[in-house]
């Protein structure tokens, strides 16, 4: 294990309500839900890119700079192959279609994080 000073995701357990919205946006599969709270499975899986941050409705996710295990592309590949992370399909906040039948995009508006499907997005853009 190699420790380095780097950017990594920080989870505020007080703020996390266990909605699971952050799990699927993490391309590395670094997040999971344990006892109703989001957790980083292992530090080496989190690259600190922070795509999960924009989708958290409670502000529980931030980035911090600290000493952590070095990010490992190899460990990510292994983890994704044998992943048993909890997967919760997301819903469009405007029409309730799920990602099973529509493409969903994470969006932010006036400080709020939401999911929007490709059918609802043009209406949002053009009013
Ligand atoms: S999106 Fe936020 S509130 Fe929901 S599980 Fe993830 S950290 Fe917790
Ligand atoms: Zn929609």
Does residue 75 share a domain with residue 100? no
22 plus 71 within the same structural domain:
yes
Whether residues 53 and 95 share a domain: the answer is no
Atom of ligand 1 nearest to the CA of 23: 6
Same domain as 115, residue 59: no
Per-residue pLDDT tens, the chain, 127 aa: give them.
Answer: 899 999 999 999 999 999 998 988 887 899 999 999 999 999 999 999 887 888 888 999 999 999 999 999 999 888 888 876 555 677 898 999 988 899 988 887 776 677 899 999 999 999 8
**Residues with Cβ–ion distance below 5 A, ligand 2:** 92, 94-95, 117, 120
101 CA → ligand 1 middle, Å: 23
- Answer for the pair 51, 25: CB distance below 8 angstroms, yes or no: yes
127 vs 118: CA distance, rounded Å:
15
Q: Containing domain of residue 121, as a range?
A: 89-127
Does residue 101 sit in the same domain as residue 81?
no
Query: Distance of CA 87 to CAs 19, 20, 54, 72, 120, Å?
Result: 11, 8, 18, 22, 24
Residues 69 and 114 in one domain: no
Distance (angstroms) between ligand 2 centre and the Cα of 39 equals 29
- Ligand with smallest separation from the Cα of 14: 1
């Amino acid at each position: 294990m190699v420790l380095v000073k780097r950017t990594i995701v920080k989870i505020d357990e007080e703020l996390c309500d266990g909605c699971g919205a952050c799990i699927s946006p993490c391309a590395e599969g670094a997040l999971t839900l344990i006892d109703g709270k989001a957790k980083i499975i292992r530090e080496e899986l989190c690259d600190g890119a922070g795509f999960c941050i924009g989708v958290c409705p409670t502000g529980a996710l931030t980035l911090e700079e600290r000493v952590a295990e070095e990010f490992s592309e190899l460990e990510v590949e292994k983890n994704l192959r044998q992943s048993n992370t909890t997967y919760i399909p997301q819903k469009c906040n405007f029409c309730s279609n799920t990602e099973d039948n529509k493409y969903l995009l994470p969006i932010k508006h006036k400080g709020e994080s939401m999911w929007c499907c490709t059918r609802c997005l043009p209406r949002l853009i053009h009013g």
